[in-house]
Amino acid sequence: MTFTRYAIYFSPPTDAPWAQFATSWLGWDMARGVEVTHPVAEGIDVSAVTDVPRKYGLHATMKPPFHLRQGQTLSELQSACEVLASRLTPIRLDGLEVARLGRFVALRPIGDLSELNNLAAACVQELDEFRHPPSASELDRRRAAGLTPKQDQNLLKWGYPYVLDEFRFHITLSGKLDKSILQIVKTTLDRDLAPMLPVPFQINDLTLVGEAEDGRFHLIHRYALTD
């Protein structure tokens, strides 16, 4: 399969019941590369609610999607991911919770986030030699959302505004929603998903993913973090 971009994710273990439910909620299983049936949720068009995040699969972004820099290869990127993961340790947090993030619904971690933030920073910084700089049109598109000076600095240096001090770990479960449906979605997920969420919440590996030509992201390989 040919990929146009790559990213480093945290991808939940596929055998965890909460991850299986959340994967079906989104409707795309990036580990198997197949669409999956949404759960039935009264009063919610789950397909419409999850249309925007579906193609990315169930994940938290650690290093945002990037094009490979000229002269770099996927094989070299895979080797670098293996080396990086071998030098990083697993992360343990108190848990996950269903949360409203602006007009989105997502899972966010509970507990001390310092080690998690350091893990994401390592992914951003230590794999950056593989990232092709953004084009002028990409910069314009990002800036159109309205960026702070720090976010714009991140965009220029790292290719994405919301990294390092601006990073907020989250597992997206919806696109932008109107207020009329936002609380309904959160209430439904509090009822159906929250009881399955892990306590504690652990990150034991990193995932290299690729964006296919149709825009869907696929799992390429998991890299175990070293105890």
pLDDT tens digits along 65-115: 999 999 999 999 999 999 999 999 999 999 999 999 999 999 999 999 999
Task: Indicate the residue type of 191.
Answer: R
Residue 227 scores a pLDDT above 90: no
Contact indicator for 70, 143 with CB cutoff of 8 Å? no
Residues 16-27 have pLDDT tens digits of 999 999 999 999
pLDDT in tens, 6-62: 999 999 999 999 999 999 999 999 999 999 999 999 999 999 999 999 999 999 999
pLDDT of res. 180? 87
In percent, how much of the chain has pLDDT > 90? 95
- Give the number of other CB atoms < 10 A from CB of residue 180: 7
Give the mean pLDDT of 129-133. 96
Structural domains of the chain sorted by starting position, each given as residue range(s) with its CATH number in brackets:
3-224 (3.90.1140.10)
pTM of the predicted model as reported, rounded to 2 decimal places: 0.95
* Structure tokens that stand for 134 in this block: 């953004």
Q: Which residues contact 12 (CB under 8 A, 6 or more apart)?
A: 18, 19, 22, 58, 59, 171
Residue 145 binned pLDDT confidence (cut-offs 50, 70, 90): confident
